Each structure stands twice: as C-alpha cells, then as structure tokens.
Amino acid sequence: MKKVIGILKKGWKWGLIVVLLGIEIFLIKDVFGEVERVKNYRLQIQRNINFLRNLASLQKEEKEAEKYLESMRRLLPEEEKIFSLIDDLKRRAKRYDLNTQFQFGDVLKKEKLKWILVNFELQGNLNEIINYFQDLKRAPYFITVDKFSLSKSEEKNLFYLTGKGKIFLKNVK
C-alpha cells in the first residue's frame, strides 16, 4: 500500500508538472498570436502613414498645378471662336508669304481635354514655313502637329507641307 501511495504521490507531481507545462504552452502560443497581431497592426499603420504622406504630396502638387491652370484656360480658345482661329492662322501665314489651306474636323473630348482636328497645307519658301511655325508658338492658342509631309517642287523652288494636328479648346461644361 505504501508503494501505491508513493506512486500516487509521484504521479500527482508529474500530473501537476504536465498541467503547468500545458498552461505555459497555451500562454506562449497566445503571446505569439498577440505578437503577430501587433506586427500586422504595425504594417497597417506604416501603410497608412505612407498613404497620408503621398496624399499630402499630391495635394501640394495639385496646388502647384492650379497656379498654371488659369493661365492654360486663358490660352485655350472657346469652340465658338474657331472662325477667328482660322482668320488668325491665315493672317500669320500671309506675313510669311505662304499659301495656305485649312480644313477643320470634328471637335473631340477626352476627360478634361477638348480639341478640334485640323488638316493643313502650306506652300512657300522653307525658311518662311519654319518662321511661320515659330510664330505659332507665340499664338494665343495651343496647336500640336501630329503628322506632316514635306516635299519640294522642282520647277518653282517651293516647298509643300501637308499635315494633321490638333488645336486645343476650352472644355466649358
């Protein structure tokens, strides 16, 4: 009987050790879970900080861009003034003794941009054609040339420039 009581006493100690180890393992597992959650929160906070920095930077850039927006709006003509554009293009060409022809296409829109397609033909001295385009840089509107072709007449020593481009307009809603 003493042996049985001795085994029970030893077994009780081992049982207590096993229970305590189980509790300890459970607590360690819980601590590791909390550590993972803290890491995830930390990553999320870092992402939010980066987002806020980027947002602040974009807001700063937006303020800088708005300074130029009004001057760009003044630069772009309204669609109703397209006939005065034709007159201005022809008047500038006459300064350089160029023969011209302009054909305007559709007015197109994309997001906040609006433009009219233009086909053009210029005939004259090459230097005067170059001067004409230099003069257009100072025009009160914005023109792009998307495609052009230059050829020379053998008989008259004249150059022919044909092309396509866009004249940007105000996008008044």
Residue 77 has a pLDDT of 57
HSE-CB for 109 with a 13 A CA cutoff: 7
Query: Tens of pLDDT along the chain (173 residues)?
Result: 565 455 555 665 666 666 677 777 777 777 777 888 888 888 898 988 888 888 888 888 887 777 766 665 555 556 556 667 788 888 999 999 999 998 888 878 777 777 888 899 999 999 999 999 999 888 877 788 899 998 988 777 789 999 999 887 665 44
Sign of the CA dihedral running 42, 43, 45, 46: positive
Question: Residue 72's pLDDT is what?
Answer: 59
Domain residue limits, the chain: 1-75, 79-169
CATH class of 79-169: alpha beta
Contact between residue 23 and residue 15 where contact means Cβ atoms under 8 Å apart: no
What pTM, to 2 d.p., does this model score? 0.52
